[in-house]
Copies of this chain bind each other. A is one copy, B any other.
Amino acid sequence: MYSIGQAAELTGFSIDTIRYYEKIGLTKPPERSAGGMRSYSEDDVKLLSSLHCLKRTGLGLEEMKAFLQEGRCFANAAFPLSGEDREAIESRTRILGEHLTRMEAQYRALADLIGQTKEKLDFYQDLLNREGAAK
């Protein structure tokens, strides 16, 4: 188990940010020590790390919340699925699909930008090299 300070260290978030996410309901409250200190499990830390990763792709907190909701486990769902479950799964499939589309668009945009940036870099490098060679 990890203290909030250790969790912060491991995940890349600040202590304040971790508490903030808990306050707004993005993450579930962790266990507490007898004295009331937050205590994070390995899984909690993993979840926070993947949130950090998500955040870096430009996702807003509300979107992240939605994304996390998708995680509810249907692995042991009873068959046949109840109408309710079916609807939940269909709704999640839709939300996830939309999110995927957005991420893929972002992925392509990023690939383009990386390409352009590399070209620029090559151009500058070339300029400097030519200089060196001309000496």
Contact = CB atoms under 8 A, between A and B. Distances in A.
A73 to B, nearest CB: 10
Contacts of A112: 53
Nearest to A124: B93
A131 B81 contact: yes
Interface residues of A, number: 44
Query: For the complex, would chain A's binding face be called helix, strand, loop or mixed by DSSP majority?
Result: helix
A89 interface: yes
A134 B80 CA distance: 8
B53 A89 contact: no
Contacts of A121: 93, 96-97, 100
Contacts of A103: 110, 113-114, 117
A88 to B, nearest CB: 10
Given A96-B117, A97-B121, 19 more contacts: A53-B113, A56-B106, A57-B113, A74-B123, A74-B124, A79-B130, A81-B127, A86-B131, A89-B124, A90-B128, A93-B121, A93-B128, A96-B120, A99-B117, A100-B118, A103-B110, A103-B117, A106-B110, A107-B107
